[in-house]
Structure 1
Amino acid sequence: MGEKEEVIAPAPSMDIDEGQIAAEKQMRDIGADLYLEVQQYSREELDAERKIVLRKLDWVIMPMICMTYTIQFLDKLSLNYASAYSLIPDLGLQGQRYSWTAAIFNFGYLFWAMPANYLIQRLPVSKYTGTMILIWSILLCCHVAAKNYAGMLALRFLLGMFEASISPAIMNIVSMFYTREEQPLRMCVFLAFNGMATMVGALLGFGLGHVESSTIKSWQLIFLVIGLINFVWSWVFLWVMPDSPSSARFLTHKQRIVAIDRIASNMIGVKTKQFQFSQAIEALLDIKVHCLMLIGMGCGVINGGVSNFASSLIKGFGFSGINATLLQLPTGAFEFFLVPLCGLAAGYFKDSRCIILALICLPPLGGLIGIRLTSLDHRWSLVGCTWLQYLIGAPVILSWNLLTTNIAGHTKRSTANGLWFVFYAAGNIAGANIFFARESPRYYSALTGLIVCYGGMIVIALFLMGWMGWQNKSRDRKYGPGEDEQAVADGFRDQTDKQSLHFRYAL
């Protein structure tokens, strides 16, 4: 017999190795490398910088977010303010045509809600968001050239599509820069700037309503001025807003490490760009996501009705068009001052998010009952009940915070966020179309629908609190106390809240 031939195994392909390395790098959390550097510093050194880093974040990130929220809510309110003047007769938007003009914005929002959330996961979040602001500012200016119903429908659909990114992008930014305890107050503060937008918009609409020009009408001037403000801000946003703590130019390298160390306790990492299909399926089957989707739909119905028909309601109580615009000024003050108090309470009292969400639904619920039952002779009481409806911002932001703090796994969170905004947009569509012109000024069908939504949101919030509390206790019994180093490590490995057995829910 001949000698055995030596079998030589082929050398491993460099292309395969490089491909595996590239894949692992893509799945790696963008903050993981900086988190490894945490070990180079003592806990005392890191803690000494924490307050400095938080102060810097609050002086840069928060003003950027607050201004962005102000101008984007001005966009949404622009149609409401324009409707107080000659927009409706000029473009033939009488009857249900105005309702559909208001609603189609949300069809665009609905169309782009899921793609927007996945793009936010894949792309640099600040660059993507700044580009969206730039595009919608141009679209808003184009409203000036609208000549008919069809043209207005097309513009409002596109505007809704490009604005679908802003809220999930801001949620993403807040979760990357702030801890669980810090998020409720800051999220309520920036949403309260919707109230600032309401006040600014009411004054702007009132002032522009007095402009007498043969070349441009008051409603056109409203769209043009708000569009130009957005255009300027888009370039500021693109220049200043960082994509993550690791790219924040206003922080030193050590402060970036501290920023990552601060948010490690959130147990969700910072961000990965890899889409994981299994996480998307988990989001679709998660009872927490289902509850928050239903709350989102309820918020949408209320917001869609109130934001588009506040002028019509107040005019129906016996006020002129220009005074109906001015009388919406206090609604902004309600939102601007009361919504942050909800965030302050949710951040101060542990596990109070769900109960505060339920409680804050009670005043506007009472206001709706007041509108339904109070005589038209008491028009100032009716106006006061209308003002209470602008507290809807508090349930919206608290449900966002429940999403950002209780959904781990980046694809799962992107999917859950997308579903929330899909249902929110669907609710806005319904809310804008349950105000029937024939029922003016009472709109009984609409009031009944809004009352049901608030009642449902209260029940769901209390159920969600009980379910997550039961889950926490069950995990404590099986695996011991959570929210430890293992939970942090699971977050940087892109584990979902279901997979990470040391993850605990914030109620």
Structure 2
Amino acid sequence: MPAMHATGQDKAKDAVETIENTNLETHAARPQHVDKAAALLATEERIYVSPEDNKRVLRKIDLALLPLLLTIYFLQSLDKTSLSYASVFGLLDDANLVGDQYSWLGSIVYVAQLVFQPIISFLLVKLPIGKFISVMVLTWAIVLCGMVGATNFGGLLATRFLLGAAEAAVAPAFIAVVQMWYRRHEQTNRNASWYAMLGVVNILGSLLSYGLGHIDSRRLHSYQIIFLFCGLLTFVVSIFCFIFMPDSPMEARFLTHDEKVIAVERLRMNQMGVASRVWKWEHVKECILDPKTWLWFSMLTAVSIPSGGITTFGPLIVKSFGFDSFTTILFNMPFGAVQIISTLGGAWAATKLKKKSPVLIILCIPPIVGILMLMFLEHTQANQAPLLVGYYLISVYPGISPLIYSWSGQNTGGDTKRKVNTGILFVGASAGNIIGPHLFTPAEAPRYARGLRVNLALFIVIMLVVVAAAAWIRILNRKHANMRLVAGKNAIVVDYSMETGRTIGNKAGVMNGDSGGGIGDKAFDDMTDLVNEDFIYLY
């Protein structure tokens, strides 16, 4: 392995700050604004990352990032679902909510997220991502504490809107963090890990609400105690986030200079870059005109409509089976367990198969069966057990969204294009979550027939769009193979970004891979996937 020239932290810092003046003669043919990772690598010989080095650095990255990502997303999920727990403990009566006002409290968070997504996409490119996440976490903590003073529909609606605005950056930022730190083979499981916190919230959050709901306070209602506790806990976590969340591999204090080089070099065959902090309008245009963008947008919108409805009305649906408030909260816990299993299990299967499309289709089947059970079983005490089974089958759907995010992210190159693509997906997710709660209204209890019929149709639509997306990706891969031939490269190359360390070590002895003919040379030029002929699409 060629020697790496370790000269300390100052060298890495200087390299990042002088990116556009570094090694101009060597990189004269490159784009004017390349990825900031190129500045760090420009000071080094091109190295080969051994499986041992990869494993060591990956372990340090996981230990530094995953605890923060999991904790923050757990709190965001807890904050969002606190409304559904509050509904069981008298929020509707105490706040005098009538008609579809409760549905609007569920939707308004996503209205804010939809409105703010374009701004978030821009800020994720331009700002240091670790500090940006920290400020957003602190903001939503303050807003959630302020919800304690909201005792009517107007106050709750305003604070829920502000909460959605503050939380709008979290999931898009997490996807960006995973893309800038992990190889494509590793990304699906990491995205699934933080997304699985939705299921953890449905277990621990149910227990937490059960306990907080028993607090007898003369000054605060039970739901106000829930809001206050969640807000204060989030405030504490925001401080840890500001101290420990790194902005990029090039600026990570927990890595030595040599480890930073390894952390960046091992991402070469992703063909996605790391971070440029330069906004490129040509990337925006390509993203908008790219059919892939709208295929994933359609999938995510379709799955978010059931998500919005079930998240807001799930406890009320269980309560309609004939249970009291506290029993309802406890029976919501298995719902969370199924979410965890489907999310992590789906990610594991997709990683093992190196394909997303077949796993997505399989994950749509249990919700379809569960919806049919709720639609056609009579809501009687004798049917409580099968009705619960149907409800738990529906809860497989959370495994779908992280696979779509990973599938989309792994098939998008260029820093600005990735951030805009993620923003568009979250516009779809926000729109779906706005629509979802309005398909269910308390007046339709206990059957909620309209919402269940629409959800059934949407899961079928998802399966059809997945098939279309997989077919289109195959076409793109054939097109890129022809582009490589024209460029004098091998048409068929090994996608080392999807190989495990042990497999690569046995086959080639390297982690970053080099299929010959210059494959990987453009990885940090901040080129989009459609322009970079070396980019290999995953279906």
Is the TM-score greater than 0.5?
yes
Shift in Å at residue 228 of structure 1?
Answer: 0.8
- Equivalences for residues 308-327 of structure 1 within 5 A: 308-327=312-331
Equivalent residue for 2:42?
A: 36
**Structure 1 equivalent of residue 349 of structure 2:** 345
Letter aligned with residue 505 of structure 1: Y
Q: For 2:366, give the aligned amino acid.
A: P
Q: Distance in 1 between matches of 2:120 and 2:198?
A: 21
Q: Contact (CA 8 Å) 2:105, 2:157: kept in 1 or not?
A: yes
1:456 shift after superposition: 0.7
Please name the residue that 2:492 is paired with: 481
Amino acid at match of 2:177: I
Shift of 1:402: 1.2
The code of the aligned residue for 2:492 comes to: P
Q: 2:263 aligns with which of 259, 276, 290?
A: 259
Q: CA deviation at 1:337?
A: 2.5
How far off its partner does 1:504 sit? Answer: 1.2
Q: Is the 8 A contact 1:269 1:488 kept in 2?
A: no
CA offset at residue 348 of structure 1? 1.6
Separation in 2, partners of 1:184, 1:146: 39
Q: CA deviation at 1:33?
A: 2.0
In 2, Cα distance between equivalents of 1:365 and 1:37: 55
CA distance in 1, matches of 2:519, 2:372: 46
Say whether residues 1:86 and 2:90 are aligned partners.
yes
Gaps spanning 5+ residues in structure 2: where? Answer: 1-17, 23-29, 485-490, 496-514
1:363 equivalent in structure 2? 366
Q: Give the Cα–Cα distance (whole angstroms) in 1 for the partners of residues 261 and 332 of structure 2.
A: 45
Number of positions where the alignment pairs a residue of Structure 1 with one of Structure 2: 487
Q: Which residue of 2 aligns with 1:217?
A: 221
Verify the 8 A CA contact 1:283 1:289 in the aligned structure 2: yes
In the other structure, the counterpart of 1:6 is: none
Provide TM-score, normalisation by structure 2. Answer: 0.87
Taking a change above 3 Å as real, the CA distance of residues 321 and 470 of structure 1, as seen in their structure-2 partners, is same
TM-superposed deviation, 1:21: 5.7
Separation in 1 of the partners of 2:300 and 2:226? 29
* 1:44-83 aligned within 5 A: 46-83=50-87
Shift, 1:87, TM fit: 1.1
Opposite residue 35 of structure 1, the aligned amino acid is L
Deviates more, 1:138-147 or 1:185-194: 185-194
C-alpha separation in 2, matches of 1:38 and 1:348: 34
Equivalences for residues 375-414 of structure 1 within 5 A: 375-377=378-380, 378-414=383-419
Secondary structure of the residue that 2:196 maps to in structure 1? helix
After superposition, give the CA deviation of every residue in 1:20-78 in whole Å (9 maximum; x if it has no partner).
Answer: 869x999331211222345265x3x6543111001111222112111111111001100
- Tell me which residue corresponds to 2:339: 335
Structure with higher helix content: 1
Contact 1:292 1:420 in 2 (8 A): yes
Offset at 1:182?
0.8
- Encode CA deviations 1:191-219: one digit per residue, 9 max, x unaligned: 11211111111001111111111111111
Q: Which residue number corresponds to residue 446 of structure 1?
A: 451
Question: Contact 1:317–1:441 (CA<8 Å) still a contact in 2?
Answer: yes
Whether contact under 8 Å (2:409, 2:418) holds in the other structure is yes
2:416 maps to amino acid: T
User: Mapping of 1:132-211 within 5 angstroms?
Assistant: 132-211=136-215
Give the conservation status (yes or no) of the 8 Å contact 1:487–1:501: no
Counterpart of 2:94 in 1: which secondary structure? Answer: helix
State the alpha-carbon separation in 2 of the partners of residues 165 and 25 from structure 1. 29
Partner of 1:265, secondary structure, is helix
Q: Distance in 2 between matches of 1:391 and 1:109?
A: 24
Change (3 A) 1:393 1:35: farther
Contact 2:308 2:435 in 1 (8 A): yes
Unpaired runs of 5+ residues, structure 1, are 1-17
Measured on the aligned residues, the alpha-carbon RMSD in Å equals 2.0
Distance 2:411 2:236 in 1: 36
2:403 alignment partner AA: L
**2:473 is matched by which residue type in structure 1?**
M
Paired residues of 2:112 and 2:161 also in contact (CA < 8 A): yes
Matches of 1:121 and 1:161 in 2, distance apart? 18
Deviation digits for residues 6-30 of structure 1, max 9, x if unmatched? xxxxxxxxxxxx9x869x9993312
Structure 1 residue 448, shift from structure 2 partner: 0.9
Q: Which 4+ runs in 1 deviate beyond 6 A? A: none
CA distance in 2, matches of 1:306, 1:487: 46
Output one character per residue of 1:247-306: Cα deviation in whole Å (capped at 9) or x when no partner.
111111111111001111110110111111121111111111010000110121011001
Residue 422 of structure 1: aligned partner: 427
- Say whether the 8 Å CA contact 1:296–1:399 is kept in structure 2: yes
